[in-house]
Amino acid sequence: MTDQTVLVAIDIGTTKVCVLIGEVGGRSGGVDVIGIGQAPSDGLRKGVVIDIDRTVQSVAAAVDAAERLSGLKVRSAFVGISGMHVGSQNSRGMIAVSGRQHDVTREDTLRAIEAARAVSIPNTREILHVIPRGYVVDGQEGVRDPIGMSAVRLEVEAHIVTASSSSVTNLTKCVQKAGVEIDELVLTPLATAEVVLTDEERELGVVLCDIGGDTTDVAVFQDGSIRHCATIQMGARSVTSDLGLLLRVTPDVAETLKIKQGTALPLEVDPDEVMQITSIGEEVPRPITRRHMAQIIEARTAELFDHVAREIEAAGATNRLQAGVVLTGGGALLTGIARAARDQLGMAARVMSPTGLGGLTDSIAAPPYSASSGLLIWGAKNWSADEDDVAARSLDGVGGRLSRLFRSLMP
């Protein structure tokens, strides 16, 4: 193993596939981006792969672009997975503490996690992650780190994230057919959290909202770990299609109108401000007020945050999320969205771009790249893990095959 290792992240979104190549332990001492590749994504509907060939083409094109920029050949990658098919449940694992002294060792915590993993899940699903939330040491709850404590019985409270086997298989196929092996499939919001949330926010309680094209991922963190996650079938493209339908303009015109003149806050717009739009089938532009357009946007945004509020409720976390809502993803670029979220959800809201990467970050320091940036940091964190963590990770998910990391690129 050399001091420098290269890792790859692939985020397969509903509008784009983004591939980042990062060097760990490079010039900045952190993770430096040395390759970026992006391609339009056309094989997904509602967040899941519906057309393998098209998705393979998108992944291959993005990988190819990143390879050209970095001069390296991608061999394996950390790949994000999310969607309606992802589910989570809590589970407890219990073990008897071994060893003469009855001191809890790292080995014991790993065995407890392994025991928590043994929950029954339908054979149509598989476990993506087993995330320890806290330990119970001889009946004493709420222990963060039991290692070194004296105990007879150790229990772990774990959050188990599962995904539909067919979605996992299809996603895996798309990546492998594009010539890339999978180091690990990572629940996308877990990776995204690495670059848009601080540890303190996760401790205090925070909602992460990644507003993509067709989907919005919501994840609730509290006491340092994830409590709940869900995918809403609505995103920034839903706003565009409403504008297209109601103003009778093409999707391209609607998208441009939204980006250039759209806002989620109609009351902030001068009611007399008029724009000229050309509807489908018409030759002469007609006037509409910008406020009218903002009202269309506001209606959809309100519907989206309604769903977000329901997920916060489902997490059982209402009123306890002191760090508020963090918005990211391309949809978070909509003017006024943070205010709209704040007003509707009644909590502090802000838009975040990914932080924490070095190197070629100029073009990716923006909300649409939070997931891919997060996957790179996730990979690096796991790569720099010591031997014990390697063991922990091998318990940790589909293909937590760390050994792969050391050959993530061909020579």
* Contacts with ligand ATP, residue ranges (CB under 6 A): 13-16, 41, 47, 210, 212-215, 235-237, 240, 255, 258-259, 329-331, 333-334, 368
CB of 179 to ligand ATP, least distance (A): 22
Nearer to ligand ATP, 84 or 348 (CB): 84
Nearer to ligand ATP, 18 or 104 (CB): 18
CB 177, CB 335: distance < 8 Å: no
Nearer to ligand ATP, 324 or 368 (CB): 368
Closest CA to 289 of 302, 264, 265, 270: 270
Closest CA to 55 of 22, 34, 81, 74: 81
CB of 237 to ligand ATP, least distance (A): 4
In the chain, the largest separation of any two C-alpha atoms, in whole Å, equals 87
Nearer to ligand ATP, 110 or 333 (CB): 333
CB of 204 to ligand ATP, least distance (A): 25
CB of 355 to ligand ATP, least distance (A): 17
Write out the DSSP string of 176-202.
HHTT-EEEEEEEHHHHHHHHH--HHHH
Nearer to Mg ion, 39 or 293 (CB): 39
Write out the DSSP string of 137-150.
ETTEEEES--TT-B
Region of 47 please: left (phi>0), alpha (psi -120 to 50) or beta. Answer: left
CB 402, CB 394: distance < 8 Å: yes
Single-letter code of the amino acid located at 85:
H
Under the criterion CB under 5 A, does residue 354 sit at the interface with Mg ion?
A: no
Under the criterion CB under 5 A, does residue 359 sit at the interface with Mg ion?
A: no
Residue 330 binding partner per list Mg ion, ligand ATP, none, with a CB distance cut-off of 5 to 8 Å that depends on partner kind: ligand ATP
| Of 11-19, 158-166, 276-284, 304-312: span binding Mg ion (CB under 5 A) | 11-19
In angstroms, the CA 275 to CA 291 distance is 10
CB of 277 to ligand ATP, least distance (A): 17
CB contact set of 60 (below 8 Å; sequence gap of 6+):
178, 179
Under the criterion CB under 5 A, does residue 47 sit at the interface with Mg ion?
A: no
CB of 284 to ligand ATP, least distance (A): 27
What residues between 366 and 385 interact with Mg ion by CB under 5 A? 371
Residue 214 binding partner per list Mg ion, ligand ATP, none, with a CB distance cut-off of 5 to 8 Å that depends on partner kind: ligand ATP
CB of 405 to Mg ion, least distance (A): 24
Single-letter code of the amino acid located at 205:
G
What residues between 193 and 212 interact with Mg ion by CB under 5 A? 212
Cα distances (angstroms) measured from residue 77 to each of 96, 162, 235, 370, 409:
37, 20, 26, 16, 9
Closest CA to 404 of 110, 180, 167, 162: 180
123-139 per-residue burial string, b: 16 or more CB within 10 A, e: under 16: eebbbbbbbbbbbbbee
Apex 110 CA angle, 102 and 156, nearest 5: 80
Nearer to Mg ion, 116 or 186 (CB): 186
Residue 255 binding partner per list Mg ion, ligand ATP, none, with a CB distance cut-off of 5 to 8 Å that depends on partner kind: ligand ATP
CB of 81 to ligand ATP, least distance (A): 11
CB contact set of 25 (below 8 Å; sequence gap of 6+):
3, 4, 5
Nearer to Mg ion, 22 or 374 (CB): 374
Residue 111 binding partner per list Mg ion, ligand ATP, none, with a CB distance cut-off of 5 to 8 Å that depends on partner kind: none
Where does this chain bind Mg ion (CB under 5 A)? 13, 212, 371
